Structure 1
Amino acid sequence: MPGNEKKTSDHRLIEAVIEQWERCGYEGISARQLSTLASAPSSSIYHHFGSVEQLLALAQEHVIGLTSQWCNERIEHLADIPRDPRAFPAFFAACIDDWARGERCLAFAWREGQLLRARNPSGRALQQQWERLWLDFWHAATACFGLERGAGVAYRLFENESFLHMLNWRRSVDRAGLDEFARGAGAWLMGDAVPQSPWRDFARAAALDALPTEPNHDSITAQIVAAAAALIAEVGPGGLTHRAVAASTGLTLGTVSHKIRTKAELVQVGYGGLYINAVSRLRAQTSVLPSGRETVVGIANFLAENSGSRGIDALHLAVARDPALHQFGLQLRYLRGSTSRSLLQMLLPDRPSQGHLEPALLSGFLSSLSRHYGDWTSEEARAPIRAELEDLMALL
């Protein structure tokens, strides 16, 4: 790392953690690897921080401080802007693009921190710091446009869409589709009809065309798919190997390798298994929901009991950083909202039929809720999830 000789070893170690979060994630972090990157002996970690876990926590606090500076700079840019709600969508899109592409190392660190809370006792407290930072930012930002009533919804949409914007397909289409998403977010906050989204519709059609034909798995392949999905959920894509699947299923390595030949194919079937499991649970729950307010209660109960797939989030990060998995970014980013369409119809039965953008907005909102409350008990999560859903309904 340039300039390491002018920095103290503890600072170099923190920078090494941040670098590894972007490069390869938590799985690439070890005392040996960090000491090599920081040009410091491994003993420095224990001298300065006590443990690798404490080093990770302090690295998260450092990133939170840098992100706070980023947020403050953007609020300063709004100091003398006219209080016009119509200006909000462009600002919203610019923030997502600036963050996901211009501050990529910070963006990866935030997402790795969301996964860290499942491994580190201090992780939940750190995530509360992140949540407060972003909520304060969006309260301040929306107030500049006269839209402060929708600050919480704006944050939820930012939280999820900034994650998806880390996945690259075609830069011009991704950026144009982001602008359309931002206009949809603005419509929600202003109480307007959600506009059409031709760029996102194009990308969605391309994603559908690129989907492989759904296979009719034999019993052995079905075992492999289920094991791959479970491994992604438990240990992340980095822990998904043919050998791990063989150990999990009791099959021989040769059998697994014969059925699923490459790592990319193994990731694909694992993601497919995760996605089908999640959608099946949601469809089973929503198929019996009544329309209107009782639907809010049902969705809140479902999210409280089923929040937070660490496997899906880890897969998003793997696709964002690994060019070999690039082909999955199109589906992960644009095939969203199919189940949310039926939820919208139940929540707002008198609302005219939507295009693809409004279901994607609801999908993003619900995904952010699920991610945030993923490590809460169902009893803890039920009331705040319901409150956020009711805030959204009040806008709509």
Structure 2
Amino acid sequence: MLRAVGGMWRSHGRAQMSARLVGQKAGVQASQINYYFGGFEQMLCSAQAQAIEAASQWCEARLMDLTPLDLSAAQGESFGHILAGLIEAWCTEAADLAFAWTECLLLAGRNPGYADAARQWQALWTRFFDALCARAGLSVHSALMRHFFYGEAFMHRLIWRPALDRAVLAESCVSWLRLLLSGEAGTTPLRACVQTEVHRYTPGVLVAGSVQAQIAEAAADLVERDGAAAVTHRAAAAAAGLTLGATTYHFSSSDALLGAAWAAIYARLTRPDANDTAPTYAEETVSRAEFMAGMTHFFDNPQQQNHMRGMEELVSQAARDPSLSGVGAMIRYTRGQTTYLTLRRLPREGAAADRQTAALVSTWLQGLGRDLRGMTSAERTQAVHQHLSRILHILKVPA
């Protein structure tokens, strides 16, 4: 039964799992789940424990692979290629574990029963990156490297153009090392080329009050409440109070419908909140203190975190379903736009942050958010201040 669940993290996700389906996959009666585990959720927690143990063995094997190398000689940009290789291996050779990890973090945001497993995943990656960065003479950047791994590995599960995806991954990881070591990300021509191509998957602008916007908002609600797998034309029509025909007329494919849900969730994430004290993007400048306060509020705001989990649900569904590779590529390669609008308003020694720097920081922020899952409010606040201070120092934002 645990082996069956281990494969279903990747193929189905929690939203599509059921006792009956697990029983079918395992070739046993569903009633045996209660007998052996005491319940369905308890079985899933046991499956997470098994995945964590397997991931720990994977990490130990990767460290052994690198043992003969003098990583201290690769502490510059070349270490970015090692990081890219680890992400590629994790998302391909250990894909079932990569999906199990992601599902655990999503579940921990909704169900306290998974908080302990989320902390175990965090401890596993902390040990791994502490050991890896110590060998490379990069211990001071260990936490930042871990968060970037979280963000980039999460997106690299999306398969759009495999060879190109791998090339852009390497370019991004090298650029990340440049940023950490010099404060400047440098140019990324491959990413710029890909961004131009994936814009054709961008959904149209949702006009407030239109039928399209009504459907998109209903689809976004479904994603945030029940997961991306729950978004069908029939379910979106019912949630929007419209006919099935009207829904399929405006969004003829699942790709288009999920793309609209993404647009709605993205708008929710970037829409100024009435109770939010963070600065809006219309302001000329954002002080370091305002930026810190705004990000602390964001990571401690349950509504915003629910929107973020909805976005993550969409990414995971796109990673599972090849027919959604277009919308997945669009989400992966166009991220960082809102971060860019904010970073360019921060005071900085030298030129304002460019789009590549914003994309890297956006990836890091996504990873940081996952690292915060399962923490108390006080722990989150402390962690956000600690790590954001480090990033702002690297970006040469004066205190």
**TM over 0.5, shorter chain:** yes
**Aligned residue among 43, 51, 65 for 1:55:** 43
Distance 2:134 2:180 in 1: 12
Alpha-carbon distance, 1:60 to partner: 0.5
Aligned to 1:174: 165
SS in 2 for 1:214: coil
CA contact (8 A) 1:139 1:151 kept: yes
CA contact (8 A) 1:159 1:368 kept: yes
CA contact (8 A) 2:118 2:373 kept: no
User: Across the two proteins, how many residue pairs are aligned to each other?
Assistant: 384
RMSD: 2.3
TM-score, normalised relative to structure 2: 0.89
CA contact (8 A) 1:21 1:109 kept: yes
TM-score, normalised relative to structure 1: 0.89
In structure 2, what residue type is equivalent to 1:360? Answer: A
Aligned to 2:344: 345
Distance 2:58 2:347 in 1: 37
Aligned to 1:312: 311
Aligned to 2:359: 360
CA contact (8 A) 2:105 2:373 kept: no
Q: 5 Å matches for 1:57-206?
A: 57-82=45-70, 83-84=72-73, 85-86=75-76, 87-206=78-197
Change (3 A) 1:304 1:347: farther
Aligned to 1:301: 297
Distance 1:139 1:376 in 2: 20
Distance 2:46 2:347 in 1: 45
Change (3 A) 1:194 1:16: same
Distance 1:339 1:291 in 2: 16
What is the percentage of aligned positions where both structures have the same residue?
31
Distance 2:145 2:126 in 1: 9
Distance 2:111 2:343 in 1: 37
Alpha-carbon distance, 1:280 to partner: 2.5
CA contact (8 A) 1:150 1:395 kept: no
Alpha-carbon distance, 1:162 to partner: 0.4
SS in 1 for 2:271: helix
Aligned to 1:329: 328
CA contact (8 A) 2:203 2:260 kept: no
Alpha-carbon distance, 1:368 to partner: 1.9
Distance 2:252 2:160 in 1: 25
Change (3 A) 1:311 1:245: same
Q: Deviations over 1:264-314 (max 9, x none)?
A: 322121111111221223997443563334422332223322335221111
4+ aligned runs moved over 6 Å, structure 1 = none
Greater RCO structure (CA 8 Å; 6+ sep): 2
Alpha-carbon distance, 1:108 to partner: 0.9
Gaps of 5+ in 2: none
Alpha-carbon distance, 1:191 to partner: 2.9
Q: Deviations over 1:359-386 (max 9, x none)?
A: 1111011112233435666555323212
In structure 2, what residue type is equivalent to 1:174? Answer: D
SS in 2 for 1:351: coil
Distance 2:171 2:245 in 1: 47
Alpha-carbon distance, 1:21 to partner: 1.1
SS in 1 for 2:69: coil
Q: Deviations over 1:152-173 (max 9, x none)?
A: 1000000010011111121221
Q: Deviations over 1:57-110 (max 9, x none)?
A: 010010101110111112223334321212421111111011012211111111
CA contact (8 A) 1:307 1:371 kept: no
Bigger Cα displacement from structure 2, 321-330 vs 279-288: 279-288
Q: Deviations over 1:210-242 (max 9, x none)?
A: 435435466333222211111111111111123
Change (3 A) 1:149 1:286: farther
SS in 1 for 2:324: helix
